[in-house]
């Protein structure tokens, strides 16, 4: 199978088309945290719960970063971007599986959890001293 055959394969082409249709993808996850606003007359000052606030959490240079996400349409766009990133990762994995199966000539073997491929042992020949 040549490189041109891989790029024109209909399974790979369908996955490439689906990846191209993702408008925005953002690595990270959205989390909601209850925060107090600081005003003494607000209900959050006396109750156990605060105001729900969303943050985008991601890792850069080995450190976790949190960025405030507003509650307006930008927040919805960020939520779609995070979902699209997860979809992108699944599509990349599917493309990798498809291409490796084409290269090997058969589907990737599925093993049960904890089951490893059996590696044959090399027999050592006995050599007289």
pLDDT digits (tens, 9 = 90+) for 72-120: 888 889 999 999 999 999 999 988 888 887 777 755 566 677 666 565 5
CA–CA–CA angle 98, 101, 107 (5° rounding) = 110
SS3 for 123?
coil
pLDDT digits (tens, 9 = 90+) for 47-85: 778 888 899 999 999 999 999 998 888 888 999 999 999
Alpha-carbon distance of 59 to 63, in angstroms, equals 5
pTM: 0.65
Residue 96 tokens read as 């990798």
Strand partners, 59: 64
């Amino acid at each position: 199978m040549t490189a041109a055959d891989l790029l024109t394969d209909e399974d790979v082409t369908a996955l490439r088309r689906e990846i191209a249709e993702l408008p925005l993808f953002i690595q990270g996850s959205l989390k909601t945290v209850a925060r107090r606003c600081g005003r003494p007359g607000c209900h959050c000052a006396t109750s156990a719960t605060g105001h729900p606030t969303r943050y985008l959490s991601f890792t850069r240079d080995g450190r976790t970063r949190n960025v405030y996400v507003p509650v307006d349409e930008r927040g919805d766009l960020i939520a779609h971007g995070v979902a699209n990133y997860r979809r992108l990762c699944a599509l990349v994995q599917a493309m990798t599986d498809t291409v490796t199966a084409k290269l090997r000539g058969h589907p990737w073997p599925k093993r049960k959890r904890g089951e490893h491929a059996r590696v044959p042992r090399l027999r050592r020949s006995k050599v007289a001293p």
